[in-house]
Amino acid sequence: MDWLMLFAAGCCEMLGVAMLGKLQRDRTWQTFCLFLLGFGGSLLLLSQAMKTLPMGTAYAVWTGIGASGGAVLGMLLYGEGRELRRIICIVMILGAAVGLKLLG
Amino acid sequence: MKNNSAWFKIAGAACLEVVWVIGLKHASVPWEWLITGLALLVSFYTIIAASRKLPVGTVYSVFVGLGTAGTVLADMLWFGEPFRLIKLVLILVLLAGVIGLKLVTGNFHSKEVS
């Protein structure tokens, strides 16, 4: 159950990032509500999952799913650059962030 | 380089992220919670502003990455976390990724339709 919540938290974060992109084209209150719902739900589910899972593991998985998923969504939905160099840089940033959270 | 201001915004948002992460962990009295809440609001407002100029995948990964690096540094500097070489190495890898991404994004042709 805790892992399911953690996975859902990552998905909510992806929703938040997708809405962050969408906010730039349609500044409607629906998009803004979904943006708040995405990040709010994500933090809420993460804190629930952390009640049973170790904090470092939970943080690392959450960051990994949410931020990399957000980057992939940006490429799929908004035609953001798919160059290898860009992908390598994003992987370096997120890999290091996940590593730091696992160590923390 | 008109995108520079957007990169500064992400860096600022990441600094505020460090503030609210510390706040969520350590805040106990009302004014501390007030600062935490304000930092949370302003940091998200700032990344909304930054993603007007830069791809959202870039904005969010740099925001998360710099925020993590800053939090780890703050923990080591002020909250008595032990210094570990591996952490510093990971922070350097992370910064190299951010700099690389900034260089690559210089050639980014936005497909935004406004």
Asked if A17 and A74 count as a contact pair (C-beta separation under 8 A), the reply is yes
- Residues A80-96, mean pLDDT to the nearest whole number: 93
pLDDT at B2: 61
Residue with tokens 């739900």: A41
d(CA B111, nearest CA chain A) in Å = 7
Nearest-by-CA chain A residue for B84: A103
Nearest-by-CA chain A residue for B114: A25
pLDDT at B25: 86
Lowest mean pLDDT among A12-26, B11-25, B97-111: B97-111
> Of A37, A64, A61, nearest to A49 (Cα)?
A61
> Of B79, B62, B74, nearest to B13 (Cα)?
B62
Q: Between A74, A86, A94, which is nearest B56 by CB?
A: A74
Select from A100, A102, A103 the residue whose CB has the most chain B CBs within 10 Å, as the one to mutate to test that interface.
Answer: A100
Alpha-carbon distance of B108 to A80, in angstroms, equals 9
Q: Does the pLDDT value for residue A81 go beyond 70?
A: yes
Q: Between A21, A39, A101, which is nearest B56 by CB?
A: A21
* DSSP collapsed to 3 states, chain B: CCCHHHHHHHHHHHHHHHHHHHHHHHCCCHHHHHHHHHHHHHHHHHHHHHCCCCCHHHHHHHHHHHHHHHHHHHHHHHCCCCCCHHHHHHHHHHHHHHHHHHHHHCCCCCCCCC
B61: phi then psi, degrees, rounded to nearest 5: -70, -35
Q: Model confidence at B113, in pLDDT bands (50, 70, 90)? A: very low
Q: How does pLDDT run across B9-24, given as a tens digit for each residue? A: 999 999 999 999 999 8
Alpha-carbon distance of B8 to B59, in angstroms, equals 11
Q: How does pLDDT run across B29-67, given as a tens digit for each residue? A: 999 999 999 999 999 999 999 999 899 999 999 999 999
d(CA B46, nearest CA chain A) in Å = 11
Q: What is the ipTM of this complex?
A: 0.93
Asked if B55 and B82 count as a contact pair (C-beta separation under 8 A), the reply is no
Cβ–Cβ pairs < 8 A, chains A and B = 127
Helix (H), strand (E) at residue A31:
helix A29-49
